[in-house]
Amino acid sequence: MTQPILEQDAKVLIALDFATANGALSFVDQLNPNECRLKVGKELFAVAGPDFVKALIAKGFDVFLDLKYHDIPNTVAKAVQAAARMGVWMVNVHASGGSKMMKAAKEALAEFEKPPLLIAVTVLTSMQQEDLAELGLDIEPKEQVLRLAKLTKASGLDGVVCSAQEVTMLREEIGDDFCLVTPGIRPAGSDVNDQKRIMTPPDAMQAGSSYLVIGRPITKAENPVAALAAINDSLR
Ligand SMILES: O=C(O)c1cc(=O)[nH]c(=O)n1[C@@H]1O[C@H](COP(=O)(O)O)[C@@H](O)[C@H]1O
């Protein structure tokens, strides 16, 4: 029997993409905060709100508030402050909001004794080259990821969200001192769903991911606790 991994080592961030607070809560009640962290995104936050996030934190979970802010600098700065007041562990913005927006967000967190990690989404893992082309970007996703990751680093943020397929390149180009959070993680044989740039959990960690965001392969599993345990085991 393997020991549960320590909290500071929990690499799996479970995406709590649930339609109701009750649905999310009955799922969370099966989980141990030593074995995963939790991500609250737009769907759940819209129905459950800040009190729900605070309740997860009170249960001992680190919470990544994934609202992917993308707005004028002042609005984003105030939004990340509101997130920090909730006590979240990590919060994100869209890097395509630009360096002025990202710097304003970073500066707005300076007043907090223990600010959340601030990271920026580069190119969504559901996108591929044809999706960038329709936005007028005639380049490969990895080139755009690198460009936005460099901009994020230069803006003083703690890391980026990218696909695990770009992690080796980013470690070479940007170094180890940068948090790389990778969704689009699929254990071998599981449904890909709407994700495009995917990788398995062990391959993503091997490449140098800091954290793995995993939703449906755990939340929709017949036995989510066993699915999480199998993923954690595969990372040891
Ligand atoms: O910022 C994110 O977390 C995110 C960025 C990205 O590029 N791709 C991506 O899938 N996500 C989120 O990661 C989660 C992935 O969920 P599954 O596809 O169910 O594993 C979802 O909650 C997405 O909102």
Q: What is the ipTM of this complex?
A: 0.98
Tokens in use for 180? Answer: 């790389």
Residue 9, pLDDT > 90, answer no
- In this prediction, residue 184 carries a pLDDT of 98
* Prediction pTM value: 0.96
- In this prediction, residue 133 carries a pLDDT of 98
Residue 56 one-letter amino acid: L
Mean pLDDT of 93-101: 98
Mean pLDDT of 61-68: 98
Neighbours of 98 (CB within 10 A): 15
- CA 219 to centroid of ligand 1, rounded, Å: 13
Angle at the Cα of 132 from the Cα atoms of 128 and 135, rounded to 5 degrees: 150
For 7-235, give the CATH class: alpha beta
| Residue 220 alpha carbon, nearest atom of ligand 1 | 19
**Cα-flanking dihedrals φ and ψ of residue 20, to 5°?**
-135, 155
| Residue 123 alpha carbon, nearest atom of ligand 1 | 7
Angle at the Cα of 123 from the Cα atoms of 35 and 39, rounded to 5 degrees: 25
- CA 1 to centroid of ligand 1, rounded, Å: 31
CA 219 – CA 222 distance, rounded (Å): 8
| pLDDT tens by residue, 192-217 | 999 999 999 999 999 999 999 999 99
Residue 229, pLDDT > 70, answer yes
> Which protein residue has the closest C-alpha to ligand 1 atom 21?
15
- 68 in catalytic set: yes
73 is in an annotated binding site: yes
Residue 2, pLDDT > 90, answer no
